[in-house]
Amino acid sequence: MILDIAKKTIDEEINALNRLKDSLDENFEKAVNLILNCKGKVVITGIGKSGIVGKKISSTFSSTGTPSFFLHPAEAIHGDLGMVEKEDLILAISNSGETPELIAIIPILKRWGNKIISITNKKDSTLAKYSDVVLYLNVDKEACPLNLAPTSTSTATLVLGDALAVALLTLRGFKEEDFAKFHPGGSLGKKLMKVEHIMRKDLPLSYTDTPLKEAIIEMSEKGLGAVLIVDKNDNLVGIITDGDLRRFINKGGSIDNSFAKDAMTKNPKVAEKHWYVLQALELMERYNITVLPVVENSKPIGIVHIHDILKSGVI
Protein backbone atom coordinates (compact mmCIF):
# COMPACT_ATOMS: atom_id res chain seq x y z
CA MET A 1 0.00 0.00 0.00
CA ILE A 2 2.64 2.54 1.06
CA LEU A 3 5.01 1.58 -1.75
CA ASP A 4 2.12 1.76 -4.22
CA ILE A 5 1.42 5.34 -3.14
CA ALA A 6 5.08 6.25 -3.55
CA LYS A 7 5.33 4.67 -6.99
CA LYS A 8 2.12 6.32 -8.15
CA THR A 9 3.40 9.71 -6.97
CA ILE A 10 6.66 9.22 -8.86
CA ASP A 11 4.78 8.09 -11.97
CA GLU A 12 2.59 11.20 -11.81
CA GLU A 13 5.64 13.44 -11.59
CA ILE A 14 7.39 11.59 -14.42
CA ASN A 15 4.26 12.17 -16.50
CA ALA A 16 4.42 15.88 -15.65
CA LEU A 17 8.05 16.02 -16.75
CA ASN A 18 7.22 14.29 -20.03
CA ARG A 19 4.49 16.86 -20.66
CA LEU A 20 6.96 19.62 -19.87
CA LYS A 21 9.50 18.12 -22.26
CA ASP A 22 6.90 17.89 -25.04
CA SER A 23 5.86 21.51 -24.53
CA LEU A 24 9.36 23.00 -24.89
CA ASP A 25 9.48 25.29 -27.90
CA GLU A 26 11.27 28.33 -29.28
CA ASN A 27 10.37 30.25 -26.11
CA PHE A 28 12.95 28.19 -24.23
CA GLU A 29 15.58 29.23 -26.77
CA LYS A 30 14.46 32.86 -26.47
CA ALA A 31 14.75 32.70 -22.69
CA VAL A 32 18.26 31.24 -22.86
CA ASN A 33 19.38 33.91 -25.32
CA LEU A 34 17.87 36.68 -23.19
CA ILE A 35 19.83 35.43 -20.18
CA LEU A 36 23.03 35.01 -22.20
CA ASN A 37 22.77 38.60 -23.41
CA CYS A 38 21.86 39.99 -19.99
CA LYS A 39 24.42 42.58 -18.84
CA GLY A 40 23.24 42.46 -15.24
CA LYS A 41 22.07 39.69 -12.94
CA VAL A 42 19.16 37.28 -13.22
CA VAL A 43 16.72 38.22 -10.47
CA ILE A 44 14.51 35.26 -9.59
CA THR A 45 11.30 35.91 -7.72
CA GLY A 46 8.38 33.85 -6.46
CA ILE A 47 6.57 33.06 -3.25
CA GLY A 48 5.61 29.89 -1.40
CA LYS A 49 6.82 26.67 -3.06
CA SER A 50 7.65 28.67 -6.19
CA GLY A 51 9.92 30.84 -4.07
CA ILE A 52 11.66 27.84 -2.54
CA VAL A 53 12.31 26.35 -5.97
CA GLY A 54 13.33 29.79 -7.23
CA LYS A 55 16.04 30.02 -4.57
CA LYS A 56 17.47 26.72 -5.73
CA ILE A 57 17.42 27.81 -9.38
CA SER A 58 19.13 31.07 -8.45
CA SER A 59 21.80 29.16 -6.53
CA THR A 60 22.38 26.82 -9.47
CA PHE A 61 22.66 29.76 -11.86
CA SER A 62 25.21 31.55 -9.68
CA SER A 63 27.37 28.47 -9.22
CA THR A 64 27.47 27.72 -12.94
CA GLY A 65 28.43 31.10 -14.35
CA THR A 66 25.15 33.04 -14.47
CA PRO A 67 25.12 35.74 -11.74
CA SER A 68 21.79 35.61 -9.94
CA PHE A 69 20.01 36.42 -6.70
CA PHE A 70 16.59 35.68 -5.26
CA LEU A 71 14.14 38.51 -4.54
CA HIS A 72 11.19 37.83 -2.26
CA PRO A 73 8.20 39.64 -3.83
CA ALA A 74 6.66 40.56 -0.48
CA GLU A 75 9.91 42.20 0.60
CA ALA A 76 10.25 43.79 -2.82
CA ILE A 77 7.08 45.86 -2.42
CA HIS A 78 8.45 47.14 0.89
CA GLY A 79 11.76 48.45 -0.40
CA ASP A 80 13.79 45.57 -1.76
CA LEU A 81 12.94 46.55 -5.33
CA GLY A 82 15.90 48.88 -4.89
CA MET A 83 18.11 45.81 -5.31
CA VAL A 84 17.08 45.57 -8.96
CA GLU A 85 19.10 47.49 -11.54
CA LYS A 86 18.01 48.41 -15.04
CA GLU A 87 20.26 45.83 -16.72
CA ASP A 88 18.93 42.96 -14.60
CA LEU A 89 16.64 40.32 -16.05
CA ILE A 90 13.62 39.04 -14.09
CA LEU A 91 12.67 35.36 -13.90
CA ALA A 92 9.26 35.27 -12.21
CA ILE A 93 7.75 31.97 -11.05
CA SER A 94 4.06 31.41 -10.37
CA ASN A 95 1.95 28.35 -11.07
CA SER A 96 -1.25 30.38 -11.41
CA GLY A 97 0.39 33.48 -12.81
CA GLU A 98 -1.87 35.48 -10.53
CA THR A 99 0.18 35.59 -7.29
CA PRO A 100 -0.77 38.99 -5.80
CA GLU A 101 2.70 39.84 -4.51
CA LEU A 102 4.20 39.16 -7.94
CA ILE A 103 1.52 41.00 -9.83
CA ALA A 104 2.20 44.02 -7.60
CA ILE A 105 5.84 44.32 -8.71
CA ILE A 106 5.91 42.96 -12.26
CA PRO A 107 4.23 46.04 -13.86
CA ILE A 108 6.76 48.29 -12.10
CA LEU A 109 9.68 46.24 -13.38
CA LYS A 110 8.13 46.27 -16.83
CA ARG A 111 7.97 50.08 -16.76
CA TRP A 112 11.60 50.22 -15.71
CA GLY A 113 12.48 48.32 -18.87
CA ASN A 114 13.62 45.07 -17.26
CA LYS A 115 13.11 42.01 -19.45
CA ILE A 116 10.78 39.47 -17.83
CA ILE A 117 10.74 35.71 -18.26
CA SER A 118 7.95 33.85 -16.52
CA ILE A 119 7.54 30.22 -15.53
CA THR A 120 3.85 29.49 -15.17
CA ASN A 121 1.19 26.89 -15.77
CA LYS A 122 -1.31 29.45 -17.13
CA LYS A 123 -0.51 30.87 -20.56
CA ASP A 124 -3.24 33.51 -20.34
CA SER A 125 -2.42 34.69 -16.80
CA THR A 126 -1.62 38.26 -15.83
CA LEU A 127 2.02 37.33 -15.27
CA ALA A 128 2.24 35.80 -18.73
CA LYS A 129 0.78 38.96 -20.32
CA TYR A 130 3.50 41.11 -18.73
CA SER A 131 6.28 38.72 -19.76
CA ASP A 132 8.63 39.01 -22.70
CA VAL A 133 8.97 35.21 -22.74
CA VAL A 134 6.63 32.64 -21.19
CA LEU A 135 7.93 29.20 -20.21
CA TYR A 136 4.87 27.01 -19.99
CA LEU A 137 4.92 24.12 -17.48
CA ASN A 138 2.07 22.20 -19.14
CA VAL A 139 1.25 20.27 -15.96
CA ASP A 140 -2.29 18.86 -16.08
CA LYS A 141 -2.51 17.74 -12.44
CA GLU A 142 -0.56 17.56 -9.23
CA ALA A 143 0.76 14.28 -7.84
CA CYS A 144 -1.15 15.16 -4.68
CA PRO A 145 -4.38 13.05 -4.72
CA LEU A 146 -6.31 16.17 -3.79
CA ASN A 147 -4.71 17.99 -6.72
CA LEU A 148 -3.86 20.81 -4.31
CA ALA A 149 -0.34 20.56 -2.84
CA PRO A 150 2.34 21.76 -5.26
CA THR A 151 4.09 18.53 -6.27
CA SER A 152 4.21 17.97 -10.01
CA THR A 153 4.32 21.71 -10.68
CA SER A 154 7.19 22.34 -8.27
CA THR A 155 9.11 19.38 -9.71
CA ALA A 156 8.57 20.60 -13.26
CA THR A 157 9.67 24.10 -12.29
CA LEU A 158 12.84 22.77 -10.68
CA VAL A 159 13.68 20.64 -13.71
CA LEU A 160 12.98 23.53 -16.08
CA GLY A 161 15.38 25.66 -14.04
CA ASP A 162 18.01 22.95 -14.30
CA ALA A 163 17.47 22.78 -18.06
CA LEU A 164 18.05 26.54 -18.31
CA ALA A 165 21.19 26.33 -16.16
CA VAL A 166 22.68 23.45 -18.14
CA ALA A 167 21.93 25.13 -21.46
CA LEU A 168 23.56 28.33 -20.22
CA LEU A 169 26.69 26.72 -18.81
CA THR A 170 27.11 24.68 -22.00
CA LEU A 171 26.79 27.72 -24.25
CA ARG A 172 29.14 29.72 -22.01
CA GLY A 173 31.77 26.98 -22.27
CA PHE A 174 31.74 26.60 -18.48
CA LYS A 175 34.58 24.28 -17.44
CA GLU A 176 35.41 22.16 -14.40
CA GLU A 177 37.94 24.72 -13.23
CA ASP A 178 35.23 27.41 -13.38
CA PHE A 179 33.03 25.24 -11.18
CA ALA A 180 35.87 24.81 -8.70
CA LYS A 181 36.36 28.58 -8.62
CA PHE A 182 32.79 29.08 -7.42
CA HIS A 183 33.00 26.20 -4.91
CA PRO A 184 36.31 26.74 -3.09
CA GLY A 185 34.97 25.56 0.25
CA GLY A 186 32.89 22.62 -0.91
CA SER A 187 33.92 19.02 -1.42
CA LEU A 188 33.19 19.24 -5.13
CA GLY A 189 35.42 22.25 -5.54
CA LYS A 190 38.20 20.60 -3.58
CA LYS A 191 38.08 17.56 -5.84
CA LEU A 192 38.65 19.91 -8.77
CA MET A 193 41.58 21.69 -7.10
CA LYS A 194 44.66 21.95 -9.30
CA VAL A 195 48.25 21.08 -8.40
CA GLU A 196 49.30 24.69 -8.97
CA HIS A 197 47.07 25.75 -6.07
CA ILE A 198 48.94 23.69 -3.48
CA MET A 199 52.46 23.21 -4.86
CA ARG A 200 55.41 24.80 -3.09
CA LYS A 201 57.50 27.18 -5.16
CA ASP A 202 60.48 27.56 -2.84
CA LEU A 203 62.26 24.59 -4.35
CA PRO A 204 65.09 22.49 -2.93
CA LEU A 205 67.45 22.49 -5.94
CA SER A 206 70.94 21.21 -6.67
CA TYR A 207 72.90 20.59 -9.85
CA THR A 208 74.15 17.19 -10.93
CA ASP A 209 77.77 18.09 -10.08
CA THR A 210 76.93 19.60 -6.70
CA PRO A 211 78.76 17.74 -3.90
CA LEU A 212 76.33 15.34 -2.29
CA LYS A 213 76.96 16.86 1.13
CA GLU A 214 75.77 20.28 -0.15
CA ALA A 215 72.71 18.69 -1.74
CA ILE A 216 71.83 17.10 1.60
CA ILE A 217 72.13 20.49 3.32
CA GLU A 218 69.76 21.96 0.71
CA MET A 219 67.34 19.11 1.35
CA SER A 220 67.45 19.70 5.10
CA GLU A 221 66.97 23.47 4.84
CA LYS A 222 63.81 23.17 2.71
CA GLY A 223 62.35 20.48 4.98
CA LEU A 224 60.59 18.41 2.30
CA GLY A 225 62.71 15.28 2.55
CA ALA A 226 63.88 15.67 -1.03
CA VAL A 227 66.05 17.76 -3.31
CA LEU A 228 65.46 18.18 -7.05
CA ILE A 229 68.47 17.66 -9.29
CA VAL A 230 68.80 19.72 -12.47
CA ASP A 231 71.36 19.82 -15.30
CA LYS A 232 73.23 22.87 -16.54
CA ASN A 233 70.14 23.91 -18.53
CA ASP A 234 67.99 23.74 -15.39
CA ASN A 235 66.06 20.73 -16.69
CA LEU A 236 64.94 18.22 -14.08
CA VAL A 237 66.99 15.03 -14.39
CA GLY A 238 66.66 13.45 -10.96
CA ILE A 239 65.58 13.57 -7.34
CA ILE A 240 67.22 12.61 -4.07
CA THR A 241 64.92 11.63 -1.22
CA ASP A 242 65.62 10.33 2.27
CA GLY A 243 65.07 6.85 0.88
CA ASP A 244 67.53 7.41 -1.96
CA LEU A 245 70.19 8.43 0.57
CA ARG A 246 69.63 5.33 2.69
CA ARG A 247 69.87 3.07 -0.32
CA PHE A 248 73.00 4.88 -1.55
CA ILE A 249 74.75 4.46 1.81
CA ASN A 250 73.66 0.80 2.15
CA LYS A 251 75.34 0.11 -1.18
CA GLY A 252 78.62 1.57 0.13
CA GLY A 253 78.29 5.09 -1.23
CA SER A 254 80.26 7.90 0.36
CA ILE A 255 78.58 11.17 1.28
CA ASP A 256 81.93 12.97 1.53
CA ASN A 257 83.29 11.92 -1.87
CA SER A 258 80.19 11.82 -4.06
CA PHE A 259 78.09 14.18 -6.15
CA ALA A 260 74.33 14.65 -6.35
CA LYS A 261 74.16 12.67 -9.60
CA ASP A 262 75.63 9.61 -7.85
CA ALA A 263 72.77 9.25 -5.35
CA MET A 264 69.79 10.56 -7.36
CA THR A 265 66.92 8.61 -8.86
CA LYS A 266 66.97 9.44 -12.55
CA ASN A 267 63.88 10.54 -14.48
CA PRO A 268 61.57 10.85 -11.44
CA LYS A 269 57.80 10.79 -11.64
CA VAL A 270 56.47 14.30 -12.20
CA ALA A 271 53.19 16.23 -12.32
CA GLU A 272 52.11 19.29 -14.28
CA LYS A 273 50.52 22.35 -12.73
CA HIS A 274 47.19 21.90 -14.52
CA TRP A 275 46.71 18.40 -13.09
CA TYR A 276 44.00 17.88 -10.52
CA VAL A 277 45.41 17.25 -7.05
CA LEU A 278 43.67 13.87 -7.06
CA GLN A 279 45.63 12.91 -10.18
CA ALA A 280 48.88 13.73 -8.40
CA LEU A 281 47.76 11.75 -5.36
CA GLU A 282 46.91 8.71 -7.48
CA LEU A 283 50.41 8.79 -9.00
CA MET A 284 52.05 9.11 -5.59
CA GLU A 285 50.05 6.21 -4.19
CA ARG A 286 50.77 4.03 -7.20
CA TYR A 287 54.53 4.43 -6.87
CA ASN A 288 54.61 4.80 -3.07
CA ILE A 289 56.26 8.23 -3.12
CA THR A 290 55.68 11.19 -0.81
CA VAL A 291 57.06 14.06 -2.91
CA LEU A 292 56.27 14.89 -6.51
CA PRO A 293 58.08 17.49 -8.63
CA VAL A 294 55.95 19.77 -10.81
CA VAL A 295 57.48 20.60 -14.19
CA GLU A 296 56.86 22.87 -17.13
CA ASN A 297 58.87 22.32 -20.31
CA SER A 298 61.09 19.89 -18.34
CA LYS A 299 61.98 22.57 -15.78
CA PRO A 300 60.88 22.26 -12.14
CA ILE A 301 58.40 24.96 -11.11
CA GLY A 302 57.02 23.41 -7.95
CA ILE A 303 56.96 20.42 -5.64
CA VAL A 304 54.04 18.70 -3.90
CA HIS A 305 54.40 16.81 -0.63
CA ILE A 306 51.82 14.31 0.54
CA HIS A 307 51.24 16.54 3.58
CA ASP A 308 50.23 19.39 1.24
CA ILE A 309 47.56 17.16 -0.27
CA LEU A 310 46.26 16.14 3.13
CA LYS A 311 46.07 19.78 4.21
CA SER A 312 44.19 20.74 1.04
CA GLY A 313 41.18 18.70 2.15
CA VAL A 314 40.69 16.86 -1.15
CA ILE A 315 40.59 13.55 0.72
Strand residues in the chain grouped as ranges (E):
42-45, 68-71, 89-93, 116-120, 133-136, 205-207, 226-230, 236-241, 265-266, 291-296, 299-305
**Is position 197 annotated in a ligand binding site?**
no
**Is the CB of residue 236 less than 8 Å from the CB of residue 270?**
yes
Strand order in the sheet with 226-230: 205-207, 226-230, 236-241, 265-266
Sign of the alpha-carbon dihedral angle for 175, 180, 181, 182: positive
Q: How many C-beta atoms lie closer than 10 Å to residue 140's C-beta? A: 12
Q: Quick count: other Cβ atoms within 10 Å of Cβ 47?
A: 17
Cα maximum dimension of the chain: 91
Tell me how far apart the alpha carbons of residues 139 and 90 are, in angstroms, rounded to a whole number.
23
- Residues 134 and 118: beta-carbon distance below 8 Å: yes
Q: Are 240 and 265 in contact (CB under 8 A)?
A: yes
Beta bridge partners of 230: 207, 236
Known binding-site residues for Zn(2+) equal 72
Known binding-site residues equal 72
